[in-house]
């Protein structure tokens, strides 16, 4: 455990070095947030029919999406791991007395945490200071806020487990591009990045609720915005935990099988 | 042909300390230190010379090469090469030089060498005839005719380096800068590369400026050495001079039948001693070698004896030590 | 120009060696933007219009911007990924050669997989034109061409500015995405749906408005007077490249004095 912790720490520190990058990132995300908000505002203005999510709730979701981007986008990838797998340097990693799944997991989660932690606050602060309806407000009650934090953390755990599957699939395809492509496409669409989940047509929404992706971003953010009630949130936490168990099992199993193949092939 | 005077250049680098607190601190308020990469360099180089430009890591070698090849503008000082100031008239100046960086490639990684050569022909606007002639010469002296159709990624390090050097000479440069050309090469390739540099220098009168950590390169090639440390020139002279200046030190190794005698001769330092073997360093300005041997033979029952000059590596190391760099 | 084609030839040759990767990248380039359009389509199932523009009008805007962006990314990729050149020292090599730095940077990279993005944009273009009742004339066709060309040059200019940033900082580069990716995302809707500040910024600073809005008014017959001026606005957008080149040259000068 200590080994994973110190790896985690090193990665976190490493991420903290990039000050300008963090500021630039925050600025970029802020801009994107604004563009999205204006687009949705223009859409909402075109009709007086009530929508499954109010414009202000949606704006809150959009700000949270931009703030915590590093927690749930799948296109954020670790080229080192991909290189290890495709170029066969994996042998070095295997020489270490550690569990490779946990080792990579620690590395990846630290990367996302350091990126996310550095970036979320500037965006959130600015979003709080904006005038209504563009601003971000605190959740209606403390319970929603606590539920938001819990679901966000569980969501990050799910997301890194999904990204582990992506890396493991490279063992089988030996082509980083393909795996990355499929995973990030699915991730983006099914987590509500292209079109917010509540605004999706019914059939699509059903599919999205079956898949794990929305539980990383859509769920916590809508809890915060008040679009998902506390009761539904509690049920969702159980679903999140179930997904964590499922994804961990598949990941560890897949990794074990992949490594066995490598050893048989002689590296 | 090359006149460098008073060249200086400094850089600013961010300071980083270990630990989470200082990481956050430098995140909020980064600190910088200034490093004087080179400090008031002055030297002249004549056509046809091969200069060994040496010094420990971080001494300012690359900075000098970068300035002389027009990539970097110095803070102070002058540099006239072939009548140009390198950083002022880049496009016209660089037609006259070739540069090889030992750790970087200028060839396209995924396509055959010849494609890169053809591209260079157009970049440098090399006339067809001159290109053909140069190519013939390079191919035969570097022995790369079989390599031209191979993608660079499939070449060995030594083969790649030969092709790199070839690429730098296609346009008939008058000056060739070589930055660690033999780094990582096997013995055979090293010799081939050295041989080639010598040939090109002799036949085409190409002036060569060579940085290296390999003293054999220096011994085989350089007619003159410029030693630099902490941004300053410490020594500028030919190899023989360097060797003589420090050759007052000789090493005597003797084998003897068992003895526990302790030696105490002025001007003689003990390097190592075992039951049957002794290594001594002798300062010939204090005691003559013959006298020393005489004294030794009285103390020990000598079985074998050899006298060596110190190898050039050691001279350099002791030079570094002497100047504390 | 001859050298440029030489570069092109060498890099095509290189690309051909990695067929699987190339195909996958191209497929990705097709679908990644395409799901954005699917998102737009789905939104229109719920909402009748966006800022008064119909689905097909938005589709036309989307298509033009994506065609321009894909072409500029294909040929201007050398500037887009320029920071790696600085890191690996390739730029030193460029300085050692007796040719213009801009030409050489263009030659360092081509991203042919952008054909995927181009293809999806063309499909959307056909879809839009099929459903829009435009009374096509030669003038309108030429205007459409101008829009695309102007878009290509503006995006290349943005890439150049981003590349120039790399001379100072490799870390802060992400901010240029505001103008390249952000500009693209923004400009896939007509400019009028945004607030005044954005509208002004993307008309007078980074003139994407001369690609996706002003000439569009002419093509869609939304203006009656001064048609000629609306038609020619894309040409004004092209002027954007001039300050970009100046900034680039300034960056090269800075690099030569710090060598960072």
* Contact check, Cβ <8 Å, C259/B116: no
* Contact check, Cβ <8 Å, B90/C7: no
Q: Is the dihedral of CA C48, C51, C57, C62 positive or negative?
A: negative
Q: Which residue of B has its CA nearest to C17?
A: B110
Q: Which residue has the higher pLDDT, C104 or A15?
A: C104
Write out pLDDT tens, residues A99-109.
889 889 988 99
Interface check C38 vs A, CB under 8 A: yes
User: Where are the domains positioned within chain A?
Assistant: 2-265
CB B235 within 8 A of CB B225: yes
Neighboring chains of B (3 or more beta-carbon pairs < 8 A) = A, C
Question: Taking residues B213-242, what's their average pLDDT?
Answer: 84
Interface check A44 vs C, CB under 8 A: yes
Interface check A42 vs C, CB under 8 A: yes
Neighboring chains of A (3 or more beta-carbon pairs < 8 A) = B, C
Question: Taking residues B182-205, what's their average pLDDT?
Answer: 87
Residues of chain A neighbouring B16 (CB-CB closer than 8 A)? 17
Mean pLDDT score of chain B, rounded to an integer? 84
- What's the rounded Cα separation, in Å, for the pair B104 and B122? 21
- What's the rounded Cα separation, in Å, for the pair C194 and C197? 8
Residues of chain B neighbouring A13 (CB-CB closer than 8 A)? 20, 23
* Contact check, Cβ <8 Å, C51/A45: yes
Most confident residue range from A88-102, B241-255, C111-125: C111-125
* Closest by CA position to B192, among listed B140, B116, B268, B119: B140
What domains, with CATH codes, occur in chain B? 44-243 (3.40.50.300), 248-309 (3.30.70)
Asked if the model's pLDDT at residue B47 lies above 70, the reply is yes
**Residue B130 — very low, low, confident or very high, per pLDDT cuts 50/70/90?**
very high
Q: Which residue of C has its CA nearest to B119?
A: C6
The pLDDT score that the predictor gives to residue C257 is 81
In chain B, the DSSP E strands lie at 2-15, 31-45, 50-54, 76-81, 97-101, 175-179, 207-211, 224-229, 232-237, 249-256, 268-273, 277-283, 302-309
Write out pLDDT tens, residues C5-37.
888 888 887 777 777 778 888 888 899 899 999
Min mean pLDDT across B259-273, C149-163, C185-199 is at: B259-273
Residues of chain C neighbouring B73 (CB-CB closer than 8 A)? 256-257
| Helix extents (H) in C81-213 | 82-88, 90-95, 101-108, 115-131, 138-168, 181-187, 196-200, 209-212
The alpha carbon of residue B126 is apart from the nearest alpha carbon of chain A, in Å, by: 39
Q: Which residue of B has its CA nearest to A12?
A: B20
Asked if the model's pLDDT at residue C3 lies above 50, the reply is yes
Write out pLDDT tens, residues A116-174.
887 788 888 889 999 888 899 999 889 999 999 999 999 999 999 999 999 999 888 77
Write out pLDDT tens, residues A128-143.
999 888 899 999 889 9
Helix, coil or strand: residue B76: strand
Q: Which residue has the higher pLDDT, B234 or A152?
A: A152
Q: Which residue of A has its CA nearest to B27?
A: A19
**Number of residues assigned to chain B:** 325
* Contact check, Cβ <8 Å, A16/B30: no
Task: Quote the ipTM score.
Answer: 0.89
Min mean pLDDT across B281-295, C28-42, C175-189, C238-252 is at: B281-295
Percent pLDDT > 70 in chain B is 90
* Contact check, Cβ <8 Å, C10/B71: no
- What's the rounded Cα separation, in Å, for the pair A22 and A118? 6
Strand partners, B306: B253
- What's the rounded Cα separation, in Å, for the pair A162 and C258? 43
Interface check B115 vs C, CB under 8 A: yes
Mean pLDDT score of chain C, rounded to an integer? 89
Q: Calculate the CA A1 to chain-centre distance.
A: 24
Asked if the model's pLDDT at residue B244 lies above 90, the reply is no
Residues of chain C neighbouring A184 (CB-CB closer than 8 A)? 32
Write out pLDDT tens, residues A182-216.
888 888 899 998 899 999 999 999 999 999 999 99
Question: Taking residues A20-33, what's their average pLDDT?
Answer: 81
Closest Cβ–Cβ partner in B71, B101, B151 for C256 = B71
Write out pLDDT tens, residues A41-71.
999 999 989 999 999 999 999 999 999 988 9
End-to-end CA distance of chain B: 30
Write out pLDDT tens, residues C50-86.
999 999 999 999 999 999 999 999 999 889 888 888 8
Q: Which residue of C has its CA nearest to A192?
A: C39
The alpha carbon of residue C204 is apart from the nearest alpha carbon of chain A, in Å, by: 18
The pLDDT score that the predictor gives to residue B300 is 81
- What's the rounded Cα separation, in Å, for the pair B155 and B138? 17
The pLDDT score that the predictor gives to residue C117 is 94
Question: Taking residues B241-262, what's their average pLDDT?
Answer: 74
* Contact check, Cβ <8 Å, C96/B99: yes
The pLDDT score that the predictor gives to residue A119 is 79
The pLDDT score that the predictor gives to residue B23 is 63
Q: Which residue of C has its CA nearest to B98?
A: C96
Strand partners, B226: B53, B236
Asked if the model's pLDDT at residue B205 lies above 50, the reply is yes
The pLDDT score that the predictor gives to residue B248 is 67
Interhelix angle for A230-265 vs A218-225, to 10°? 160
Write out pLDDT tens, residues B146-182.
888 888 888 888 888 889 999 999 999 999 999 888 8
């Amino acid at each position: 455990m200590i080994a994973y912790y110190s790896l985690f720490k090193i990665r976190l520190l490493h991420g903290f070095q990039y000050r300008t990058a963090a500021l630039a990132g925050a600025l970029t995300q802020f801009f994107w947030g604004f563009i999205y908000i204006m687009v949705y505002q223009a859409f909402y203005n075109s009709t007086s029919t009530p929508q499954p999510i109010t414009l202000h709730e949606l704006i809150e979701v959009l700000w949270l999406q931009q703030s915590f981007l590093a927690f749930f986008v799948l296109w954020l990838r670790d080229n080192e791991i991909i290189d290890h797998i495709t170029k066969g340097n994996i042998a070095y990693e295997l020489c270490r007395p550690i569990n490779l799944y946990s080792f990579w997991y620690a590395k990846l989660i630290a990367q996302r945490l350091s990126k996310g932690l550095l970036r979320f606050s500037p965006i959130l602060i600015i979003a709080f200071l904006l005038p209504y309806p563009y601003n971000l407000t605190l959740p209606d009650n403390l319970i929603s806020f606590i539920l938001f934090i819990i679901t966000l953390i569980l969501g990050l755990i799910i997301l890194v487990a999904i990204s582990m599957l992506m890396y493991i699939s490279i063992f089988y395809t030996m082509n980083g591009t393909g795996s990355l492509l499929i995973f990030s496409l699915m991730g983006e669409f099914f987590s509500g990045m292209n079109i917010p989940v509540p605004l999706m047509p019914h059939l699509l929404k059903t599919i999205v609720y079956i898949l794990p992706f929305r539980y990383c971003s859509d769920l916590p953010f809508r809890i915060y915005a008040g679009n998902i009630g506390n009761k539904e949130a509690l049920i969702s936490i159980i679903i999140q935990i179930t997904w964590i168990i499922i994804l961990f099992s598949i990941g560890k199993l897949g990794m074990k099988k992949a490594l066995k193949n490598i050893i048989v092939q002689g590296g | 042909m090359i006149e460098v005077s008073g060249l200086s250049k400094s850089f600013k680098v961010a300071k980083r300390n270990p630990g989470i607190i200082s990481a956050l601190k430098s995140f909020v308020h980064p600190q910088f230190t200034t490093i004087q990469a080179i400090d008031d360099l002055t030297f002249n180089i004549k056509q046809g010379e091969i200069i060994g430009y040496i010094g420990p890591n971080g001494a300012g070698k690359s900075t000098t090469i970068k300035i002389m090849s027009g990539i970097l503008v110095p803070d102070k000082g002058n540099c006239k090469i072939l009548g140009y100031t390198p950083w002022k008239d880049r496009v016209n100046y660089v037609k006259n030089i070739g540069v090889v960086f030992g750790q970087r490639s200028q060839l396209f990684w995924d396509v055959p060498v010849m494609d890169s050569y053809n591209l260079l022909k157009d970049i440098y606007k090399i006339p067809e005839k001159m290109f053909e002639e140069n190519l013939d010469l390079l191919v035969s002296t570097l022995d790369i005719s079989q390599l031209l159709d191979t993608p660079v990624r499939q070449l060995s390090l030594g083969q790649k380096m030969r092709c790199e050097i070839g690429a730098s000479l296609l346009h008939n440069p008058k000056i060739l800068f070589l930055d660690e050309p033999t780094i990582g090469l096997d013995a055979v390739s090293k010799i081939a590369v050295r041989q080639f540099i010598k040939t090109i220098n002799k036949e085409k009168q190409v002036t060569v400026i060579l940085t290296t950590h390999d003293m054999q390169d220096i011994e085989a090639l350089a007619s003159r050495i410029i030693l630099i440390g902490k941004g300053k020139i410490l020594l500028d002279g030919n190899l023989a001079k360097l060797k003589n200046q420090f050759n007052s030190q000789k090493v005597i190794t003797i084998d003897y039948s068992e003895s526990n005698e302790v030696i105490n001769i002025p001007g003689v330092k003990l390097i190592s001693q075992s039951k049957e073997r002794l290594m001594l360093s002798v300062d010939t300005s204090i005691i003559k070698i013959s006298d020393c041997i005489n004294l030794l033979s009285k103390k020990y029952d000598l079985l074998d004896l050899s006298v060596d000059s110190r190898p050039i590596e050691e001279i350099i190391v002791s030079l570094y030590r002497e100047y504390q760099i | 120009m001859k050298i440029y084609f030489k570069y092109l030839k060498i890099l095509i040759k290189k690309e051909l060696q990695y067929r699987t990767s190339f195909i996958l990248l191209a497929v990705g380039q097709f679908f990644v933007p395409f799901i954005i359009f699917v998102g737009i389509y789905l939104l229109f199932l719920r909402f009748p219009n966006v800022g008064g523009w119909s689905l097909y009008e938005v589709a036309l805007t989307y298509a033009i911007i994506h065609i321009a962006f894909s072409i500029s990314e294909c040929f201007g990729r050398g500037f887009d990924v320029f920071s790696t050149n600085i890191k690996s020292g390739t730029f030193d090599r460029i300085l050692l050669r007796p040719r213009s730095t801009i030409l050489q940077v263009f030659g360092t990279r081509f991203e042919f997989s952008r054909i995927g993005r181009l293809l999806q944009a063309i499909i959307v273009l056909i879809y839009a034109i099929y459903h829009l009742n435009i009374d096509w004339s030669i003038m309108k066709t030429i205007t459409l061409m101008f829009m695309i060309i102007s878009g290509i040059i503006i995006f290349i200019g943005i890439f150049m500015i981003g590349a120039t940033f790399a001379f100072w900082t490799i870390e802060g580069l992400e901010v240029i995405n505001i103008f390249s990716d952000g500009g693209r995302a923004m400009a896939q809707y007509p400019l009028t749906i945004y607030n005044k500040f954005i509208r002004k910024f993307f008309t007078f600073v980074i003139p994407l408005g001369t690609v996706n809005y002003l000439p569009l008014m002419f093509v869609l017959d939304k203006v009656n007077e001064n048609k000629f001026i609306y038609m020619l606005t894309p040409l004004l957008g092209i002027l954007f490249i001039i300050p970009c080149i100046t900034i680039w040259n300034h960056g090269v000068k800075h690099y030569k004095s710090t060598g960072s």
